[in-house]
Amino acid sequence: MARELPEGYQKYQSDVIVDLLQHYGFEYIAINPGASFRGLHDSLINYGGDNPKMLVCQHEETAVQIAHGFARATGKPMACILHDLVGLLHGQMAIYYAFTDRAPVFILGATGPMDESKRRPRSDWHHTAQSQGDAVRNFTKFDYQPHSIEGVPDSFMRAYSTMVTEPAGPVYLCYDAMLQETPLTKDLALPDASVQKAPAPMAADPAVLGQIVDRLLQAEFPYIMAEFTGRHPGNFEKLVELAETLGVAVWDVNSSLCFPNRHPQNLSMDTESLGKADAILALDVVDWEKAVAKLDSTNRELTSYLREDCTWMEVGFHEIGIGSWSLDYGRYLPKSLSALGDPRVAMPQMTEIAKVKIAADPALADRIEARKKVFAARHAENFARWAEEAKADHNASPLTTARLAEEIWSVIKDEDWVLSAGTLRQWTRKLWDFDKPYRHPGKGLGTSTQIGMSLGVALAHKKSDKVVVAIQPDGDLMYDAGALWTAAKHEIPLLIVMFNNRAYYNDWHHQIRMARMRGTDEDKAHIGMDIFDPEPDFATIAKGMGMWGEGPIDQPEDVAPAIRRALEVVKSGKPALVDVITRHR
């Protein structure tokens, strides 16, 4: 497993951690340097032969986010290391986002020696806690700090299995600095190749699945709503087969790409059609309420789009995926039928159940085909309407978000492309063709998440010919412009197109709402929200970090040529950035 070592090499306890990382197939490990894991760092380089490959990040949040994006793109976990207590505190927000986004991130940490006699004055005391896992215990699936080397393999195996078992999420293992730096004086049993790394997916109750299928077959306007199902290989195709067999419309919540947007049964973002639904199956969905209700953000009032007699059903993990600290689980779904189970297993089961029922009742086939025609006609209307709406202020400067989506698409549509996170306020979903499961690993999350996650997605595809595109908000990049250096340093090929409206506009818009409601000065709403006077020069920042950069560009006709120039850089295996100025609204 390790590279050839000098004769008489003294093995250290931190080498055991490297053995485990290699046994579990971790290809990369993201770090921000820290002395608390100097033993493990040396083992990774000199014992492990830089395997997993280390990626140097300028902030611990970036390290976690790269692992998060990698996991989103591949469905496989990636590792990162956070320097003792202070590094863990820096990484907290990114860990929380990985938890709410159900991303399997394997976080290794360290602590100053728990043996007081071995602590350096001041620094080791300031950087050591009684139980460092306390800092992230409310938003990790498992944490552990082994007290001896014998506890390392067992806790590692348990952490990995827990992390990837659905609902997936981050785990944290903390290693004492002296545990790492102590010579290994005994043989230690490591997991055998025959040991199963994780349990098989959970199967749902087939009787309940049969009842769900019956409801969907008999409904007039049935929907499947999917959120996280696209995270696993094969699920994209499984949902297509299930939807076509049942003859149902599909709403993709977009926490992962679950269903092709140009499929004639895709009625995502169509609230008028959703209002006709009489039966909805939620497949591994948490964020169901946002899709089904109109929100008056000023007064915080919801108005449902749904019929009063609409029946909700669910297959997923909700009851086993909630905690009591964060309210990320959302409002309770008022379901009449519910089955705990993994959609990987449940979707093929439901497809087979439906085929048997349809074969036994020929009238069902006619009913299904009639529904499909209705859905296909509405689907075509939606895309025709969106294409027309995109023409509004088409030649405006700065660009509309729709025009920016069109310009990017004109350059990449003939490439094997991947959109890393942002969707330009849904315009990419309305104008592009998401025809493959890897096209989009999921929507953007909160501010200070997107650049790191985009690097992780690009890293996942680094050894392929895929062109990874990040539509990068300006406010998000301002949190961590140092991430651009990591992209340049490790030659992560990422095409970054700035969605630069020179503002934290989501919050600016909230202040406009407040001003209108209270009758205060709307023209002052930008104060504390704008990113101008001075305007950051992102192309210059990119160049300063060792990347190719161009811009700022505010004329629509100049955007596509600049993106084409950047694309050539990315195809050479390096990152590039194009700064495009867009409208606020």
460, with CB counted inside 10 A (0-12, 13-18, 19+), is buried
Strand order in the sheet with 222-226: 249-252, 222-226, 279-283, 311-316, 335-340
Tell me the one-letter amino acid at 487. Answer: A
CA distance 423 to 43: 41
CA angle 142, 144, 147 (to 5 degrees): 165
Statement: residue 245 has pLDDT above 80? yes
Provide the pLDDT confidence category of residue 1 given band limits of 50, 70 and 90.
very low
For range 252-279, the mean pLDDT:
97
Looking at the DSSP bridge assignments, the partners of residue 469 are: 419, 495
The pLDDT tens digits for 41-79 are 999 999 999 999 999 999 999 999 999 999 999 999 999
- Sorted by sequence, the CB contacts under 8 Å of residue 541 that are 6+ apart come out as 481, 484, 549
Alpha helices in 185-325 (DSSP H): 206-218, 235-246, 271-274, 289-292
Statement: residue 99 has pLDDT above 70? yes
For range 467-483, the mean pLDDT:
95
For range 120-146, the mean pLDDT:
91
- For all residues of the chain together, what is the average pLDDT? 94
CA distance 288 to 267: 15
| Beta carbons of 93 and 64 less than 8 angstroms apart | no
Q: Indicate left, alpha or beta for 581 from its phi (over 0: left) and psi (-120 to 50: alpha).
A: beta
| pLDDT of 2 | 47
- Sorted by sequence, the CB contacts under 8 Å of residue 527 that are 6+ apart come out as none
| pLDDT of 199 | 94
CA distance 120 to 113: 9
| pLDDT of 387 | 98
The pLDDT tens digits for 197-243 are 999 999 999 999 999 999 999 999 999 999 999 999 999 999 999 99
Q: What is the DSSP letter of 117?
A: G
The lowest-confidence range among 126-135, 280-289, 341-350 is: 126-135
Looking at the DSSP bridge assignments, the partners of residue 78 are: 105
State the pairing for strand pair 301-304/293-296: antiparallel
Query: Nearest Cα to 283, choosing from 320, 258, 249?
Result: 258
Give the other-Cβ count within 10 Å of 5's Cβ.
Answer: 13
CA distance 313 to 283: 9
The lowest-confidence range among 26-40, 288-302, 503-517 is: 503-517
Tell me the one-letter amino acid at 564. Answer: R
The lowest-confidence range among 62-66, 218-222, 490-494, 533-537 is: 533-537
The pLDDT tens digits for 156-202 are 999 999 999 999 999 999 999 999 999 999 989 899 988 999 999 99
Provide the pLDDT confidence category of residue 3 given band limits of 50, 70 and 90.
low
| pLDDT of 517 | 85
Domains and CATH numbers, the chain: 13-181 (3.40.50.970), 206-382 (3.40.50.1220), 401-581 (3.40.50.970)
CA distance 579 to 526: 22
Helix axes 362-389, 235-246, angle to 10 degrees: 120
Give the SS3 label for residue 382.
Answer: helix
Q: What is the DSSP letter of 266?
A: B
What percent of the chain stands above pLDDT 90? 83
CA distance 461 to 567: 15
Q: What is the pTM of this model?
A: 0.96
The pLDDT tens digits for 415-424 are 999 999 899 9
Give the other-Cβ count within 10 Å of 153's Cβ.
Answer: 19
